[in-house]
Amino acid sequence: MQADIITIGDEILIGQIVDTNAAFLGKTLNKIGVEIRQIRSISDNKTAILEAFTEAQNKVDLVVITGGLGPTKDDITKHTLCEYFNDTMEFYPDVMMHIEELFRKYVKAPVNALNRAQAMLPSKCQQMFNHHGTAMGMWMQKDDTVFVSLPGVPFEMKYLVREQLIPRIKERFLLPALVHKTMMTYGLGESIIAEKIADWEQALPPHIKLAYLPNLGRVRLRLSAKGTNDTKLRHEIDALFDALYPLIGEHITGFESEEPIEMQIGEALQQKKWMLATAESCTGGALAALFTQHPGASAFFKGSVVSYATDVKQQLLGVQQQDIERHTVVSEPVALSMAKGIIRQTGAHVAIATTGNFGPTQGEADVEIGTVCIAIITPKQEVVETFCFGKHRERNLQKTLNKALELAHGYLID
């Protein structure tokens, strides 16, 4: 069961937006056993759209299209789909009623001709009712290929995929089991890992594929298996990963979780009934933002002091002038003092503190660019470590967040 994803819109091609819709679709469809052959982003242009449809036709079982369903002139997906299917447009009264209701409730303006046209759909389509907008999803079939057209607004698209597309695909297609699992390693380059596990890799069965995903000091190893029995594949993958411990065991740090690491930390905190607070200099609030983006963070997160300026470190976190003078602001004593300060100020049980210089310029502290000190305090330990992440600012923030979360995770889960 193979699918193509086609995302339509010049804003993708000129890089005005990043195509997160395609990633969402890839992940969500893959999870139920749909193999994605390709993702294709094309222009709002009839010829380009028809070409893409023709190329996908009969090569895949399913084509999922997003974008181009709005009411304005530049939105041409629906008409192009209608042309591709040799179909005509039909008026759907239930869609019209829904549009009128949306306008009454939210827009507080009369429905105009463009909105009315949103109630016209190809006669051969099975509509996928979009309760959150005026652009309906459409399901159409030609020969052996199903074409599904969805609005490009991420919120509406996700709703339609979760509530309507997934159940329909499960009903219509016989789906194989696809299983991915990703092992995290730290401290070895991909070529060195590949050398150490060469015999193991050579012996992988044909239905299981290995990928190396190197990034910022980490290499992730993903095994992807295809078969008919989900449980059996999971066992196979687990057994294969187990065999890696004798080869590279000391570099394995765990498995990539479906659940982000900050959520795992949150759960560990709640189990222990501990509250967390952060004191952030170089991470500038990004650590707090990671925790608070998820619902329910208030159950374990007290707050943060972002002490970007040195006097804020003193005023709000009680960092001593003499520690700064003796060790500079980027130092282990200052990181530790920030962590202690935020615990004192908020009554939290656990603190993460960061201070560093991400570059590109030297800053107040006379330390090498890329130097970061991370302190962690829990009711059981006080630790502080210094890292040199390199001279590239754009990577230093991500590296610091990763490392801080990894350390906290290590100390909280035992």
Which residue in 163, 272, 363, 409 binds a copy of itself (CB under 8 A)? 363
List the one residue out of 319, 330, 326 whose CA is nearest residue 372: 330
Residues 277-336 binding a copy of itself (CB under 8 A) are 277-278, 280, 283-289, 291-293, 295, 297-298, 301-309, 311-312, 315-316
Residue 349 three-state SS: coil
Shortest Å distance, C-beta 313 to a copy of itself:
8
366 sits near a copy of itself (criterion: CB under 8 A)? no
Q: Whose Cβ is closer to a copy of itself: residue 66's or residue 115's?
A: 115
What x-and-dash track marks residues 266-285 binding a copy of itself by CB under 8 A? ---------x-xx-x--xxx
Angle formed at CA 221 by CA 217 and CA 222, multiple of 5 degrees: 140
Which residue in 86, 93, 105, 113 binds a copy of itself (CB under 8 A)? 113
Helix 77-84 to helix 46-56 angle (10° resolution) is 50
C-alpha R_g of the chain: 26
Strands 252-255, 177-186: pairing kind: antiparallel
Residues 148-187 binding a copy of itself (CB under 8 A) are 153, 155, 180, 182
Shortest Å distance, C-beta 20 to a copy of itself:
6
Residue 8 three-state SS: strand
Instruction: Give yes or no for a contact between 56 and 48, defined as CB atoms under 8 angstroms apart.
Output: no
Cα separation, 28 vs 116, in Å, equals: 32
CA torsion sign for 27, 29, 33, 38 is: negative
73 sits near a copy of itself (criterion: CB under 8 A)? yes
Residue 93 three-state SS: helix
The stretch among 5-13, 78-86, 90-98, 373-381 that binds a copy of itself (CB under 8 A) is 5-13
Which residue in 1, 32, 46, 48 binds a copy of itself (CB under 8 A)? 48
The stretch among 169-177, 243-251, 258-266, 386-394 that binds a copy of itself (CB under 8 A) is 386-394
| Cα–chain center distance at 148 | 24
208 sits near a copy of itself (criterion: CB under 8 A)? no
Q: Whose Cβ is closer to a copy of itself: residue 33's or residue 333's?
A: 33
